[in-house]
Structure 1
Amino acid sequence: MKVFFNQLFDYNFYCNKKLIEECIKLDKVPEKSIMLFSHILNAHNIWNARILGKPADYKVWQIHPIKNWGDIHYENQRSSFEITTNATDFEIRIDFDNEEGRLFTSTLQDILFHIINHSTHHRSQIAMNFRDNELEPLSLDYIFYKR
């Protein structure tokens, strides 16, 4: 399970890094893409914090300047690798409060998979937003990454 999640987080890191590099090169990044990518970073931080039982550093829809994305992304990745490296039971249940204060419980493996899936979902929305703004989206499919 550790190897599987490390591979998924490697893929996630690669995709987000490519997107950050692309946005840094652009003269103007669409506002919706900035909002969505900031949300990807925030959600990853929030889920890592929930797993570790500590307060999150960011709010769900907090906007970050593009110049800060790389540092936030790196810290999220480092924290996720620390979690997977130290995990002894991926079926362990994690209790957490959502934004409205409701209590939920999920397994560690479900939360880790959610982080990856959530990022992929919003990167797809960013790709569509790029097209809507006449920008060419990146090819970030997992199979391309594995080649």
Structure 2
Amino acid sequence: MLKFFEYNWQVRDEWFNWCNQLTAEELVKDRIGGVGSILYTLFHIVDVEHSWIRHIQGKENIDIEFTKYNTLEKVNYLSDTFRIDIADFLQTYMNQTKNELVSVPWGEEFTKDELIHHIIAHEIHHIGQLSVRARELELNPVSADFIRRKFKSVDSY
């Protein structure tokens, strides 16, 4: 499971770098489908990952407002900051409590393991949307290849 978080983080960082070639206007331009702009998609990925991890930990959700993180640099900083805490959690969580149930605000229950899988799939889904955005702009997207990547260990974040 940790490798998929490492994969998502590496790909996300590559998307942050990829975005440097775009103007601020292109980053915030509303797009059809998905959650909106390229920048908001990256913000959404970071926010949702952080929110679900806090929920799994039994912690109160922190409402992060996009208006306070509305530049590429700010979203990247938010990603890096949250990643440190998430990596620490993943080091201790993985096999110890994965079958514990978590009640979500809308009344359903899921195991922690199901939610971890959901977090991973959620980011991969939105990264696919960013690839479509790149093609619409006639630019090459970040590679989604898993097997040719070199990963750091989670404890290096």
Calculate the TM-score normalised by the size of structure 1: 0.81
- Percent sequence identity is 20
Find out whether 1:33 has 2:38 as its counterpart.
yes
Cα distance in 1 for residues equivalent to 2:141 and 2:40: 16
Partner of 1:8: 4
Cα distance in 1 for residues equivalent to 2:61 and 2:77: 16
Q: Deviations over 1:110-134 (max 9, x none)?
A: 1111111100100100110111122
- Structure 1 gaps of 5+ residues are none
Cα distance in 2 for residues equivalent to 1:15 and 1:83: 20
* Deviation at residue 137 of structure 1 after TM alignment: 0.9
Cα distance in 2 for residues equivalent to 1:67 and 1:146: 25
Let me know the Cα RMSD of the aligned residues.
2.2
Find out whether 1:96 has 2:92 as its counterpart.
no
Partner of 2:47: 42
* Deviation at residue 18 of structure 1 after TM alignment: 0.7
Which structure dedicates a bigger proportion of its chain to helix? 1
| Partner SS, residue 143 of structure 1 | coil
Structure 1 window deviating more from structure 2 (135-144 vs 16-25): it is 135-144
Conservation of the 8 A alpha-carbon contact between 1:48 and 1:76: no
- Structure 2 gaps of 5+ residues are 30-36, 152-157
Partner of 2:118: 114
* Deviation at residue 55 of structure 1 after TM alignment: 2.5
Cα distance in 2 for residues equivalent to 1:105 and 1:30: 35
How many residues are matched?
138
